[in-house]
Chains A and B, each alone.
Chain A
Amino acid sequence: MINRFKLLVTASLLLFISLPVISQDTEEKEEPKPQKIELYSLGDQTITINAGIFIPLFYQDPTPDNGSAYSSTNSSVGGSGSLAYDAFLTSNIKVGLEVGGMFAMSINDNPYFMFPITAKFTYEFHFGQFSLPLYLGTGVNIITYGDDTNVQFLLKPGVSFYWNFNSSWSFGANLVYWWAPEVIPADHSYDRIGNFLDFTLSAQYHF
């Protein structure tokens, strides 16, 4: 009788002692899922510098009288560069401002220039160490050729590809399309829509 009692007490004690261990095992098996850490968040900013080539594609006449509405730009391949500031709203969405310039040569080797100032909206995909921003810039384009200057509206959709070197620096390339209408109120037969492409290399600083 006493032996049974002792056995019961001992078993109870053993059971009592092992209860935390049993529950710990259960807890170990039910650990919560690890949280995803976003690459960027609200307040993160970047400054980007771009430089590369500028490719005049074609002009479009929005009101052609006869014949084709598309014509050669009569221009050489030129150069392009810009400086951009962006701020992240979320890990994937950022807004910013870009100021740039380009030059190319006319058929008689006379230079002409464009200086776009655009606001940018970007959606950025992240793939490990790489980023793929898609963006649309909209703003004004200051066009100069000789003594003439025009200020017009501009749209610049583009795509980039970046390698995130470290937490501060990324390097990559951009491909941007310029949709640049030029409207002449005095005589709309002079209206043209310029279509251009620029391909630039890029260095981006994160802070």
Chain B
Amino acid sequence: MKKKLSIIFLPLLILIITACSETGIFYSLENETVLVDSNNLNNKTVFSNMVDADNYYIGNGGTALKYRFKVDDISSWSTLATPDDSYASDDINNSMVMVGDDLYISRSSYDGSNVVSGIYRLPNAKTLTTSNVTNVTSASWQTIVEDEVEKSASNPYDYKIYKLHNAQAATLNCLFINRLTYDMANSYSTPSLSNSTLYVTDTPTTISGNDVSNNTTEITLTDYFDFIKDDEGNPILDGSDIQYIYVEVDKITSGNFEYWMIINDSTNGRIIKAANVADESTISFSLSIETDKILTDIFEYDTDTIFASNSEGSYYYSINEGSTWTESTDSKSGVKLNGFADIGTLASDNIIVGTTANTSGGTGYYQIDTTDPGVILDSGTEEGNFSEINNYNSSDLSNASIAGFCFDDTNLRLFAYTENYGVWLNFDVDDTATTLWNWSQE
């Protein structure tokens, strides 16, 4: 009888001891406020990235570009015309960056027989106003390069996809173009990367001849392929008999005096640091660290401190400009970390990093105090979240896969764009001198 009772009550006792939240559930319910769907974006809108374009915000929604002016807190989102003429109906914007006053996008489409891809510029996009934005049409875009590859009945063929990165260091505001060539030997859905080249220019308007190698500087990526080795452990640089010898540049970001780039293979990641950035033609990269995890994002917080997130829920940080790196003491299982934002104007010395699904679903974002950079704060508590905690915990954002953030630190508006729960905006909802940061869905 005693044994039967202990079978019943022991699990209950364990549950009582272990199951206790730090804040009351009834308290949370009592203080929960209605989440506002404050704008006209579909609740499932997916942005791959966003740009703060001074007068407005623009988001890359894949098939469409969405913009919203900053004139007030309730201006609605509209669609910006894109260069559609050459493209099939399934066209997609692969990437979007602002370089100076100009907006650059790369697009591609496949209509079953042709693959079309290219890079386009919208001049003076940064100066668009509510009065002239409606004048933007497909014809307003200038073609930098456009390729159309026709499927051959007998031979496989290569097509190109362009990935754009923008980074600013010192006086240079550069456009990086990673041209990826795919061998569509089998099908469009299972291409293999047959070549990858990286070009940089601080005068992208001079690219000519429908070729990105004209008037740009090529960064020799093969220098970073030595981690691909043969069976004897020798680095392979010319692997005509190897399926993959080229890699895609995953991220380039701005540094105060340099650029940072991450490149991954199937298991390892590399952080590359730029040097000689004063002149585009002399930029060169050197290896800062090779990691045993796939890297997802890189962020320079200040001249000395850099963070690089990985796909296993942790991150690396350096406090000496990349000379040495340390892995975070905390990690979050089941998620990838990516997408950083400096929220120092909302919470002093703090940054946030988003999560995306890995073995389990996304879990919103986490806050890091840069004065203790190895620790990930608990965003479910008041101490670990700059935003009002009941509002955050009751929102879908707390369970979202976050692709990235866009922070307008002049108007104190923070956007979080997610892969599964749309776009969210955080701003001060308190009209008094005190602040109350709340999330609402766009």
Chain A positions near chain B (C-beta within 8 angstroms) = 59, 71-75, 106-108, 110, 112, 117, 140, 142-151, 180, 182, 184-187, 190-192, 194
- Cβ-neighbour of B26 out of A59, A117, A140 (below 8 A): A59
A71, A74, A140, A185 — which one has the most chain B CB atoms within 10 A of its CB?
Answer: A74
Chain B residues with Cβ below 8 Å from A117 are 12
- Cβ-neighbour of A184 out of B19, B24, B31, B393 (below 8 A): B24
Chain B residues with Cβ below 8 Å from A180 are 26
Within 8 A of A (CB), among B386-408: 393-395, 398
Chain B positions near chain A (C-beta within 8 angstroms) = 12, 15-16, 19-35, 380, 393-395, 398
Chain B residues with Cβ below 8 Å from A151 are 12, 15-16, 19-20
Chain A residues with Cβ below 8 Å from B27 are 182, 184, 190-192
Whether the pair A112, B20 counts as a contact (CB closer than 8 A) is no
Chain B residues with Cβ below 8 Å from A106 are 29, 32, 394
User: In the assembled complex, how far is the CB of residue B21 from the closest CB belonging to chain A, in whole angstroms?
Assistant: 4
A112 to B26, CA, bound (A): 10
Whether the pair A142, B32 counts as a contact (CB closer than 8 A) is no
- A selection of 20 A-B contacts at a CB cut-off of 8 Å is A59-B30, A73-B26, A73-B29, A75-B29, A106-B32, A110-B394, A112-B25, A112-B29, A140-B16, A143-B25, A145-B25, A146-B398, A147-B380, A148-B28, A150-B19, A150-B25, A182-B26, A182-B27, A184-B27, A186-B22
A73 to B24, CA, bound (A): 13
User: In the assembled complex, how far is the CB of residue B64 from the closest CB belonging to chain A, in whole angstroms?
Assistant: 29
Chain B residues with Cβ below 8 Å from A146 are 393-394, 398
User: In the assembled complex, how far is the CB of residue B344 from the closest CB belonging to chain A, in whole angstroms?
Assistant: 28
- Cβ-neighbour of B23 out of A59, A71, A75, A190 (below 8 A): A190
Whether the pair A150, B30 counts as a contact (CB closer than 8 A) is no
A117 to B29, CA, bound (A): 22
Whether the pair B19, A182 counts as a contact (CB closer than 8 A) is no
A145 to B28, CA, bound (A): 9
A191 to B395, CA, bound (A): 23
B24, B35, B393 — which one has the most chain A CB atoms within 10 A of its CB?
Answer: B24
A67 to B35, CA, bound (A): 25
A40 to B34, CA, bound (A): 53
Whether the pair B24, A150 counts as a contact (CB closer than 8 A) is yes
Whether the pair A107, B33 counts as a contact (CB closer than 8 A) is yes
Whether the pair A184, B15 counts as a contact (CB closer than 8 A) is no
A117 to B393, CA, bound (A): 28
Chain B residues with Cβ below 8 Å from A108 are 32, 34-35, 394-395
